Amino acid sequence: MQADSLSAVRQAFVVHPTREVGGELRVPGDKSISHRAALLGAVAEGTSTVKGFLLGDDCLATAAAVRALGVELTVDGGDLQVQGVGLDGLQAPEGPLDLENSGTGMRLLAGLLASQPFASVLTGDESLRRRPMERVAKPLRAMGAEVVTRSGTAPIRIHGRYPLQGLDYTLPVASAQLKSALLLAGLRARGRTIVRSPGRSRDHTERLLRSMGVTVESGLGEEVSVSAPKRLDPIKTEIPGDFSSAAFFLVAGLLAASRELLIRNVGVNPTRSGLLNIVEAMGGRVETRARRIIEGEPVADILVSRSELRGIEVPPELVPLAIDEFPVLFVAAACARGTTVIRGAEELRYKESDRLGVMAEGLRRLGIGVIENTDGLVIEGGELHGGRLDAQGDHRIAMAFAIAGAAAREPIEILGTDQVSTSFPDFERIAASCGLGIETTTVGESV
């Protein structure tokens, strides 16, 4: 159980059933790109200016860590400005860097700090301090950095080394965080750093580095490599809406729209938008419109209509391309006709919570038949009842059950929704704007 599950006062959502979803909305900026813009802007030469920076707690924690490394960084609304200090301009922080709830912030920063010839400590909240960090520590050690974890988890102590030694490394899992950490370390390594992956994963780091003048080679299969550039050009970009945030409304539209729902300006990078393929195979009516490229990232408007969904076997190769969307996809599966089978998704156990375990338990409480396997779930579509459940301090679980509440027969009460602001600070307001009925309350006990 997490610390916030034990604390006296927690935020909760009470969600009322509705079939009146529709209209038009926008979601806040992409979390993955926001982290990368702050971190890479810090080591660029010159001023980076970025619009659409996500004001979620996770990205603000990364921004604070960048400042603690001696970089001038300002966030004004969604406008981020970073006075880059160059690849060798970071300064030793005075105390531990607290990444709060953010796995991306911690793992990418570990990659960046591995080549800095000073000592730093990366720590986080109780959830982050339970997540696996040896997977990033091990290859960084092989590149020459001193990296010490506490039994495989944070706090991580890093004493960087310059230059690092390039490495040819095969990742144990298709993880963009690990791939990105090694590419960032590779920016200050002798020789090439080659990262091979067992599957495709989000490629925002590669795209951003290319836009900064770095040659990132992609080989046959899932393999990328870099060698140390002389410098990084500053970033000038506009971050699109986060597909992972849009996904909640996309599913809400499929389950509960009375008229079309248009989600404008969403990043639809194919390494992120696997959910589109999955819901289309389930019979979901989703259209992408006005496709365009903004500073190297594909962007579109997404039009959703209410649909009769059917259960499918989700192709395992789509799992890393929809990794953050599974909580809400499980809700869609719970409302589909027939059985949905998800395999090859064990990584979900290592997110902000054990997303297989927590979602299986929550859906069962709402009357849905779920079989939990080590690497996935088998969900028997049915009718969602009302009930009370616990998001276990996981932002995406809280929002997924909020969407379940729209499609359920009776209200659903979700405890432990405080962390929604880590990725989606304005969730309740935007949800209300498209017809979802979410009340925010506080409760003084745990289920």
Q: Which C-beta is closer to ligand S3P: that of 17 or that of 56?
A: 56
Distance CA 351, CA 153 (A): 13
3-state SS of the chain? CCHHHHCCCEEEEEEECCCCEEEEEECCECHHHHHHHHHHHHCCEEEEEEECCCCCHHHHHHHHHHHHCCCEEEEECCEEEEEEECCCCCCCCCCCEECCCCHHHHHHHHHHHCCCCCEEEEECCCCHHHCCCHHHHHHHHHCCCEEEEECCEEEEEEECCCCEECCEEECCCCCHHHHHHHHHHHCCEECCEEEECCCCCCCHHHHHHHHCCCCCEECCCCEEEECCCCCCCCCEEECCECHHHHHHHHHHHHHHEEEEEEEEEEECCCCCCHHHHHHHHCCCEEEEEEEEEECCEEEEEEEEECCCCECCEECHHHHHHHHHHHHHHHHHHHCCECEEEECCCHHHHHCCCCHHHHHHHHHHHCCCEEEEECCEEEEECCCCCCEEEECCCCHHHHHHHHHHHHHCCCCEEEECCHHHHHCCCCHHHHHHHCCCEEEEEEECCCC
Output the smallest distance, CB 251 to ligand S3P, in A.
18
- Whose Cβ is closer to ligand S3P: residue 54's or residue 384's? 54
Which of 30, 57, 324, 418 is flagged as catalytic?
A: 324
> Closest separation between CB of residue 357 and ligand S3P, Å?
17
Compute the distance between CA of residue 24 and CA of residue 356 in angstroms, rounded to an integer: 31
Contact letters for ligand S3P, residues 23-42 (x by CB under 6 A): ---------x----------
Of residues 32 and 340, the one with the C-beta less far from ligand S3P: 32
Least gap, CB of 385 to ligand S3P (angstroms): 30
| Residue 40 beta carbon to ligand S3P: minimum distance, rounded to whole angstroms | 13
Task: Tell me the C-alpha distance between 267 and 275, whole Å.
Answer: 13
Smallest separation, CB 197 to ligand S3P (Å): 10
Q: Which is nearer to ligand S3P, 153 or 339 (CB)?
A: 153
Site mask for ligand S3P (CB under 6 A), range 148-177, x = bound: ---------------------------xxx
* 324 part of the active site: yes
**C-alpha angle 30/33/36, rounded to 5°?**
150
Size, binding site for ligand S3P by CB under 6 A: 10
Rounded to the nearest angstrom, the gap between the alpha carbon of residue 31 and the centroid of all alpha carbons in its chain is 6
x/- letters, 371..410, toward ligand S3P (CB under 6 A): ----------------------------------------
Q: From the CB of 444, what's the least distance to ligand S3P, in Å?
A: 31
**Contact flag: residue 324 with ligand S3P (CB under 6 A):** yes
Of 68-107, binders to ligand S3P (CB under 6 A) are 104
Q: How far is the CB of 388 from ligand S3P (least distance, A)?
A: 27
Whole-angstrom Cα distance, residue 338 to residue 375? 20
Closest CB 441 distance from ligand S3P, rounded Å: 27
In the complex, the smallest distance separating the C-beta of residue 32 from ligand S3P, rounded to whole angstroms, is 3
Among 373, 360, 365, residue whose Cα is nearest residue 389: 365
Q: Nearer to ligand S3P by C-beta: 115 or 175?
A: 175
Task: Please identify, using beta-carbon distances, which residue of 156 and 303 lies nearer to ligand S3P.
Answer: 156
Task: Build a one-symbol-per-residue string for 250-289: x at contacts with ligand S3P by CB under 6 A, - elsewhere.
Answer: ----------------------------------------
Q: Which is nearer to ligand S3P, 4 or 394 (CB)?
A: 394
The residue among 139 and 387 lying less far from ligand S3P, judged by its C-beta, is 139
Q: Which positions from 198 through 227 interact with ligand S3P, judged by CB under 6 A?
A: 202
Contacts of 113 (CB under 8 A, 6+ apart): 90, 120, 122, 145, 158, 160
- Binders of ligand S3P in range 103-122 (CB under 6 A): 104
Contact between residue 376 and residue 403 where contact means Cβ atoms under 8 Å apart: no
Q: Which is nearer to ligand S3P, 137 or 323 (CB)?
A: 323
- Restricted to residues 332-361, the positions that interact with ligand S3P (CB under 6 A) are 347
The catalytic residues are 324
Instruction: List interacting residues with ligand S3P (CB under 6 A).
Output: 32, 104, 175-177, 180, 202, 323-324, 347
